A and B are shown apart, each in its own frame.
Chain A
Amino acid sequence: MTVGLFIPCYVDQFYPNAAIATLELLEKLGVQVVYPLKQTCCGQPMANSGYEHLTHESNELFVKNFKEFDYIVAPSGSCVLHIKDHLHSDKYPAEANAIRGKIYELIEFLTDVLKVDKLKARFPHKVGLHQSCHGQRGLRLAQMTELVARDFSKPEQLLSMVDGLELIELTRKDECCGFGGTFCVAEEAVSVKMGKDRVADHLQHEAEYITAADMSCLMHMEGILRRQKSNVKVMHIAEILNAQEI
C-alpha cells in the first residue's frame, strides 16, 4: 500500500511539525508514504469565497500529483472534505473521481483503514479536543450534538490510546471556533469573538494543550492564546499521537 501524503499549503509553510508527525506516524504503522513535491493547495480558499470557477488549475495539479496512489492522506479534515466534495477535472475526470473516493483525513485513515487499536505514544498532559466542523460534520469523524444518533468520536478513540493523556470535558463539545477560511478576516469581529469563547471553554477546564485534526482552527486559537499571553499551547493531533514524552 502506497499512500500519497497531502500536506495543506499553510501547514507546509507554518506548521511543518504537524506534517512531520503525520509522516512519522504513518511510517511507524508500516505504511509506505510518498510526498509529491509539486503539491500546493486544494483550492478551498478560493472555492469557499465563491471563486470555485478559479480552481481549475489547482484541481488539475492536485490530480496530477495524487492520481497514482492507493490512498491519499492529509492531516486536515477541511481540505479533505473540500477535495471529496468539489474536486473535478475536465482533463482527467475519471482520475479526479477516483481521488474523491480514496482521500482520507488522517484520523479516519487510522481508525477505518488501518484499524489502529493501539499506539506507542505518551503525552502526560491535560488536553482539550476541539472538534473541527468540517471533520466532524462533513467527514463524520465524531457524532454531533444536534443529531439524535449514536455517540462516537474517532479522535477520542485514538487519544484514549495515548499513555498519560487526560482528556478534559468541555461545556460546548462541538461549537465552531470561528476560523472559517476567509471568514476569519472578512468577519474579523465575530470570528475573533467565536475564537475567544472557544479558547475560554478550554481554559476554564484547565487544558494545557488544545488539539484538533485541523491546524487552521488551531492557528486561529493560537493567535488568540498568544495575544492573551496564555501558556496554553495548541498542537495538531498527529503530534500527540506521535509523541514520546517521558
Chain B
Amino acid sequence: MSELKDHAALAENFNADELRVNWHDETLWFIRQKRDRSAHAIPDWELLRETASQIKHNVLSNLSEYLEQFEANAKANGVIVHWAVDAREHNQIVHGILKKHGVKEMVKSKSMLTEECHLNDYLAENGIEVIDSDLGERIVQLAKEPPSHIVLPSIHKKKEEVGELFHKHLGTAPGVSDPQVLTETARQHLREKFLTRRAALTGVNFAIAETGEFVVCTNEGNADMGAHLADVHIASMGIEKLIPQRKHLGVFLRLLARSATGQPITTYSSHFKKPRKGHEMHLVLVDNGRSIHLGREDFRNSLKCIRCGACMNTCPVYRRSGGHSYHNAVAGPIGAILAPNFDMKKAADLPFASTLCGSCSNVCPVKIDIHNQLYKWRQVIVQEGYADSKKTLGMKAMTQTFASPATFRLAGKAGRWFMRNVPLAVSNKLNPWYKQREMPVPPKESFGEWYRKNRK
C-alpha cells in the first residue's frame, strides 16, 4: 500500500533535520510545562477533570435529547439551524448560504471541523475565497499547508519562515522576522478583510442545550471581529460539542485554556445567542461519522474531546514527529484515536505511532483513556485486516516460539550463539534496531540455564 501515507516514514523525514526536531520538541515541551504550572495552581484540578468528564458522559449518553433541546432553543432565538450528515453536506450547506447572499469572499476563524470537512478546498472549487483569520491558520494558509496542531496551527514554522511568507504575500521587507512587526502586518492585512467581508464563519467550542447559545473561545478576537462585522454569521459545530446547561460552562472554560496553553482563560470567550436586526445567524450541526463513533463502546468517550491539544504537547512521539506526520486534520494521540473511526484503512498506521506511555490520558482535561484506546484500535485494525501481512507472519512465528518452552529455549540458545559467533547475522543494515543502536551483548548462559545449575 505504498500510496498510503505512513506516520513512520513521514516522521523519519521530519527527523532528517535533528536540530529542527530539537526546536520543535522544546517549543511544545515549554507549553506542556506552562500547562503543568497552571494546573498545579488549582488544588482541585483533578476534581475539575473528573467533573468535566462526567458532564460529557451525561451529554454523550443523552445526545439526541440535548440536540433537540438545543435546536429548539436556538431556533426560538432566531438562529437558522442546519443538519449535515457528512462533510459533503456541510460544505454544500455553507456554500448554499453564501450563494444565496451572493458572497464571494468569507473570513473564517479557527474551526477544526472545517479542516476535517476540507471546506476551504470545496469553496475554492466553487469560486469562493476563504481567508483564515486566526494568525497561525493564516500563516499555514499562505504556505498552502494544513495546520500541524489543533491549537497552534503553525507551531512547526520558525519566525524566519513566517517572515519569508509575509514578504512574499503581504509585502514585508525581505529578511524581517521580528514577531512584533510580523504580527502588526498580519493585523493590518486581516483588518482590511474583516471590514470588507460580508460573511464570517466561526467554529463552536461549546453549545449550551438549555439556552440555545454557543460559545467561541479565541485569543485574538478574530471570531468576534469576523462575526460582528459581517451580515451573515455561519457557525459550524460537531454534534458532540454540547453541554447541558450554562452553569457547566465554567468547568470547561477553566480547563480549556489551562490545558491548551497554560493561560487561566482564553482572551475572548464569546457567547452568541441571536442575530442582530437585519443580520443572519446560521448554525450547521455536523455528524460526519460521530454517530458511528458513539456506537463503538470502546471508543465513544473520545467524543468528549474539547480540542485543547494537551495530549499533543505532552506526547513525546508527537513532539518528535511533527503534526503533518499524522496526515489527518487532527494530529497527535487524540487524532490517532479519532481518525480510524472515519477511515480505518487510511488511518491504520496512526494507533501504532505511540509507545503507549500513557501521558496523554493523564493530561486530558476530560479524562479520555487515550492510550487504552490506542491499544484497542490496534486490535481492531489487525482483526479487520488492515495490518501488513509480513507483520502477521512474524507475529505468528513469535507466538509459536513462545507457546513451546522447548522451542523457546532452543531458539534463545541458537540466537545467542549466532549473535556471538556471527554478529553480522543481526548487526547489519537490514535490522532497524542496529541502524542507530548497538545490539545487546549476548551472554553465554540464559537465566534459565544458570538457574538449573545453581538452584535446582
Q: Is the CB of B359 within 8 A of A37?
A: no
Q: Is the CB of A195 within 8 A of B437?
A: yes
Contact of B356 among A23, A180, A187 (CB under 8 A): A180
- Hey, what's the 0/1 contact readout for B426-440 against A, CB within 8 Å counting as 1? 000000110111111
Contact of A13 among B25, B42, B398, B415 (CB under 8 A): B415
- Hey, what's the 0/1 contact readout for A118-160 against B, CB within 8 Å counting as 1? 0000000000000001100110000011111100000000000
Inter-chain CA distance A146–B440, complex, in Å, is 33
Q: Say which one of A40-48, A103-111, A205-213 lies at the interface with B.
A: A40-48
CB proximity of B331 to chain A, nearest CB, Å: 14
Residues of B within 8 Å of A17, CB to CB, are: 443
- Hey, what's the 0/1 contact readout for A18-50 against B, CB within 8 Å counting as 1? 011001000000000001011111010111111
Is B138 positioned at the interface, with any CB of A under 8 Å from its CB? no
Q: Is the CB of B381 within 8 A of A50?
A: yes
Is A93 positioned at the interface, with any CB of B under 8 Å from its CB? no
Q: Is the CB of A38 within 8 A of B362?
A: no
Interface residues in A77-132 by Cβ distance below 8 A to B read none
Q: Is the CB of B379 within 8 A of A52?
A: yes
Inter-chain CA distance A38–B402, complex, in Å, is 10
Contact of B21 among A14, A41, A185, A193 (CB under 8 A): A193
CB proximity of B40 to chain A, nearest CB, Å: 5
Inter-chain CA distance A23–B316, complex, in Å, is 34
Interface residues in B162-180 by Cβ distance below 8 A to A read none
Inter-chain CA distance A191–B432, complex, in Å, is 11
Chain B, interface residues (CB within 8 Å), range: 35 or more
Q: Is the CB of B320 within 8 A of A148?
A: no
- Hey, what's the 0/1 contact readout for B1-32 against A, CB within 8 Å counting as 1? 00000011001101100100100010001000
Is B100 positioned at the interface, with any CB of A under 8 Å from its CB? no
Q: Is the CB of A14 within 8 A of B433?
A: no
Interface residues in A49-75 by Cβ distance below 8 A to B read 49-55, 57-58, 61
Q: Is the CB of A41 within 8 A of B439?
A: no
A132, closest chain B residue (CB): B357
CB proximity of B402 to chain A, nearest CB, Å: 4
Is A169 positioned at the interface, with any CB of B under 8 Å from its CB? no
Residues of B within 8 Å of A170, CB to CB, are: none
Is A202 positioned at the interface, with any CB of B under 8 Å from its CB? no
Q: Is the CB of B25 within 8 A of A197?
A: yes
Residues of B within 8 Å of A149, CB to CB, are: 46
Q: How many A-B residue pairs have CB under 8 A?
A: 205
Is B396 positioned at the interface, with any CB of A under 8 Å from its CB? yes
A contact patch SS: helix
Residues of B within 8 Å of A54, CB to CB, are: 395-396, 399
Given A16-B447, A147-B362, A223 and B440 contact (CB-CB distance below 8 Å): yes
Q: Is the CB of B383 within 8 A of A223?
A: no
A137, closest chain B residue (CB): B358
Q: Is the CB of B354 within 8 A of A145?
A: no
CB proximity of B421 to chain A, nearest CB, Å: 16
Contact of B395 among A49, A137, A148, A227 (CB under 8 A): A49
Q: Is the CB of B446 within 8 A of A45?
A: no
Q: Is the CB of A138 within 8 A of B405?
A: no
Q: Is the CB of B399 within 8 A of A187?
A: no
Q: Is the CB of B43 within 8 A of A58?
A: no
Q: Is the CB of B378 within 8 A of A14?
A: no
Given A41-B402, A148-B42, A223-B440, A48 and B412 contact (CB-CB distance below 8 Å): no
Interface residues in B306-331 by Cβ distance below 8 A to A read 314, 316-317, 320-321
Is B363 positioned at the interface, with any CB of A under 8 Å from its CB? yes
Inter-chain CA distance A16–B382, complex, in Å, is 34
Q: Is the CB of B452 within 8 A of A146?
A: no
| B contact set with A: CB distance below 8 Å | 7-8, 11-12, 14-15, 18, 21, 25, 29, 36, 39-40, 42-43, 45-46, 314, 316-317, 320-321, 352-359, 362-363, 375, 378-379, 381-383, 387, 391-392, 395-396, 398-399, 401-405, 408, 412, 415-416, 432-433, 435-443, 445-448, 450-452, 455-456
| A contact set with B: CB distance below 8 Å | 7, 9, 11-17, 19-20, 23, 35, 37-41, 43, 45-55, 57-58, 61, 133-134, 137-138, 144-149, 172, 174-176, 178-181, 183-195, 197, 219-220, 222-224, 226-227
Please list the 6 inter-chain residue pairs (A to B) with the smallest Cβ-Cβ separation, ordered nearest first: A180-B355, A223-B437, A50-B382, A50-B378, A57-B403, A133-B357
Query: Can you report 29 A-B residue pairs in the complex whose CB atoms are below 8 A from each other?
Result: A7-B448, A13-B415, A13-B446, A16-B447, A46-B398, A50-B381, A52-B379, A53-B383, A54-B399, A55-B399, A61-B403, A133-B359, A138-B358, A176-B316, A176-B359, A178-B316, A179-B355, A184-B433, A187-B7, A187-B11, A188-B433, A188-B436, A190-B12, A192-B436, A192-B437, A193-B21, A194-B320, A222-B438, A223-B437
